[in-house]
Structure 1
Amino acid sequence: MDRKELEKVSDFLLGEENTAYAPYFIGKSYLGVLNTKEAFIANVTFEPGCRNNWHIHHGDGQILICVGGRGWYQELGKEPQAIKSGDVVYIAPEIKHWHGAVQDEAFAHLSLSVPVEGASNEWCEPVTDEEYMKLK
């Protein structure tokens, strides 16, 4: 998708291509940092088919507020959950999970977290094409 199309996915800042985290994503994503005071808030936009690797937030949780398009969220050991604009997902600390766009539509969510001293992200294995292509 071109940048103009992606800017229409949500009303929030698209930001720049998410190159810093590209090794942990399949496909292209964009990161627009909205706030760094007290709570970190960023708009993450996924091109169609883009998803992040399985990962774990150690020491802090995360809240996803879906703001455009359609996507997927899955916790390890649970069924994938279809998510869309208006949905809110709370991810407790220490839960292995992934999220991203559906195959044929871009997706954007706000990612919120409160900085906690010593907190970290553990990036794990990718969501394979075989697993991902089964999602309907």
Structure 2
Amino acid sequence: MDDVTIRPAAARVTKTAPAENFTGTVLQDAYAAPTDASRTSATLVTFAPGARTNWHTHKTRQVLVCTSGTGMVEVRGKAPQILHAGDVVEVPPGLVHWHGAVVGHLFSHISFLEIEGPDNNSWMEPVHEAHYQSVAVTPKA
């Protein structure tokens, strides 16, 4: 490659995240996909209020750059943590976790992930509504 590649925003198609791995409305904009020697994936993920991922793991480190709204991340067996625009979350390989929006708020992050084959993510059960409601605080203004 001798030059930069520019992909205009208008050429990107927003997709709805697959219902089998997410609860609620979650939108995904693929910014970068693995090509040739690069294994890097970058996706803007926008969660409607109350939307979230299922419990899951990754074979590689995941980096979440929080861009807007208020969200949360929870590691299985630990207390959830509130996320705000500008926060950066590093999830080590193999760690069971979920992330998404808090009650009443939109939340967006860019997910950076190095992809190691088609089974890079291991999706598990949904975060049950009773559990989500017990940990999902409504942030104070």
Q: Same fold (TM over 0.5)?
A: yes
Bin of the TM-score, shorter chain as denominator length: 0.7 to 0.9
Q: Distance in 1 between matches of 2:63 and 2:53?
A: 16
Task: Find the partner of 2:31 among 8, 14, 34.
Answer: 34
2:6 aligned partner? none
1:104 correspondence with 2:97: no
Contact 1:26 1:51 in 2 (8 A): yes
TM-score with structure 1 length normalisation?
0.82
Identity %: 34
Could you tell me which amino acid in structure 2 is paired with residue 55 of structure 1?
H
1:83 correspondence with 2:65: no
SS in structure 2 at match of 1:122: strand
Return the offset for 1:116: 2.7
1:73 correspondence with 2:70: no
2:48 aligned partner? 47
TM-score with structure 2 length normalisation?
0.80
2:4 aligned partner? none
Return the offset for 1:61: 1.4
- Cα RMSD between the aligned structures? 2.0
1:25 correspondence with 2:22: yes
2:114 aligned partner? 114
- Can you give the 5+ residue segments of structure 1 that lack an aligned partner in the other structure? 1-11
- Can you give the 5+ residue segments of structure 2 that lack an aligned partner in the other structure? 1-8
Q: Distance in 1 between matches of 2:124 and 2:31?
A: 26
Q: 1:104 to 1:112 in 2, by over 3 A?
A: same
Contact 1:17 1:28 in 2 (8 A): no
